Chains A and B, each alone.
Chain A
Amino acid sequence: MLLRDVKFEEKWLPGNAACPGCGLSLGLRLLTKAIEKPVVVIPASCASVVQGAWPKSSASFPLLNIAMAGAGAAASGIANAYEMLGKEGTVVAWAGDGGTADIGLQALSGAAERGENIIFVMYDNEAYMNTGIQRSSSTPHGAWTTTTPEGKREFKKDVAAIMLVHNLEYVATASVSYPVDFIEKLKKAEAHKGTKFIQLYSPCPPGWRLDASKTIEVGKLAVETGAWILYEYENGKLTISPISSRFREKKARRPLIDYLSLQGRFAGISQQDIAKLEAEIDRKWEFLSKFE
């Protein structure tokens, strides 16, 4: 798909309440470019708030706001109801990293095991942003948050890998910095049966202490340094996406510091922690290669 083939119409409307440069806002907009009839479930998160205030909504598509733990369960119910009523629509659970990797993992795993016909998108801004930048299990090692003032000690939980071993037909990673790739992956997901999972890298300028104009740039650097790997797992086979496959060889990658130095959340990071992050990147590439 070429950029000019992406449709003109906008169903994520201007004047929403997201901060300037919000990755999640761009992600929702791209969702409406990929899926003709999205029916969206959103658990408590920034995605609940950015819709704006009653009686208006920036979402020009059906959307249900639900409790933080419940995206997988509510989306399952809606998908089944749509099927029984013969209604057309693609049910999408759109949850933050907190609402996916932490609270919400159980309902997602349950839906996946039952094979509910949903697309689950985890928009990953790597912390609990809506409540004031607390760490989540998806926050990377070394990152500052209000609850990790010295930088997080633990490593980022790999939710896409957890979904991979659920033996789904389709699991992918994507980034708002590569819109066409994300749109193509959503379309592929829609064509598969059962539960589909996409982990979407979504920069958050205030939470990452990032200039609002750098949202796309930081996501590209994440890929070019090898820190965020774009791939698809389709019918049991893992393929590194062409955008990322250029960075398979370590020497082809940009130095990690180029990625970290754009973001104030890594301002205080030590050399040891940078070395640990670099080792984690190598481990991740090695891990994924086992599924190819």
Chain B
Amino acid sequence: MADVNEEVYVIPEIDTKGLEKEFPLSKPGFGAGGKTNEWRLLRPVINYEKCIKCLICWIDCPEATITRGKDNSVAINYDYCKGCGVCANECPTKAIEMVKED
């Protein structure tokens, strides 16, 4: 098992200097497109016994919902993973299984 490495997400405090009154400014944050985990029909589950820490699933995830730990362990951020299945399709050891959400 590995935990999601929340430290990888860079979300700085931004001083908009009052400009948001003149322009439609947005600030960075999670879930700007909603709770995307609710879109998920299939849930990627990593079998850590098969995982060789190759980082392929990490680099290929379009959502940044696979985080990389200091020891190169990977963990899925289920708060926003959309269940696209790219990670499972690309894993060279077939360590990721797509399981039906209930």
Chain A residues near B (Cβ < 8 Å): 3-4, 6, 8-18, 20-23, 25-26, 29, 50-61, 179-180, 205, 211-217
Contacts and interface: CB of A to CB of B under 8 A. Distances in A.
Contact of B29 (A12, A23, A57): A57
B26 A20 contact: no
Mostly, the B contact residues are loop
Interface of B: 5, 8-12, 20, 24-36, 39, 54-56, 59-65, 67-68, 72, 77, 79-86, 88-90, 98
5 contacts: A10-B8, A18-B63, A51-B32, A180-B59, A217-B89
B62 A57 contact: no
Given A15-B35, A56-B28, A57-B27, A179 B59 contact: yes
Nearest to A211: B85
Q: Which of A180, A211, A213 has the most CB of B within 10 A?
A: A213
Contact of A216 (B54, B72, B89): B89
A14 B28 contact: no
A11 B11 CA distance: 7
A217 B36 CA distance: 23
Q: Which of A53, A211, A216 has the most CB of B within 10 A?
A: A216
A3 B86 contact: no
B59 A22 contact: no
B33 A18 contact: yes
Contact of B33 (A16, A216, A217): A16
Given A10-B9, A60-B12, A213-B88, A53 B62 contact: no
| Among all A-B residue pairs, the 5 with the closest Cβ atoms | A52-B32, A17-B33, A213-B85, A15-B31, A14-B80
A122 to B, nearest CB: 18
Q: Which of A21, A179, A180 has the most CB of B within 10 A?
A: A21
Contact of A17 (B24, B25, B32): B32
A28 B32 CA distance: 15
A51 B59 CA distance: 20
A216 B85 CA distance: 11
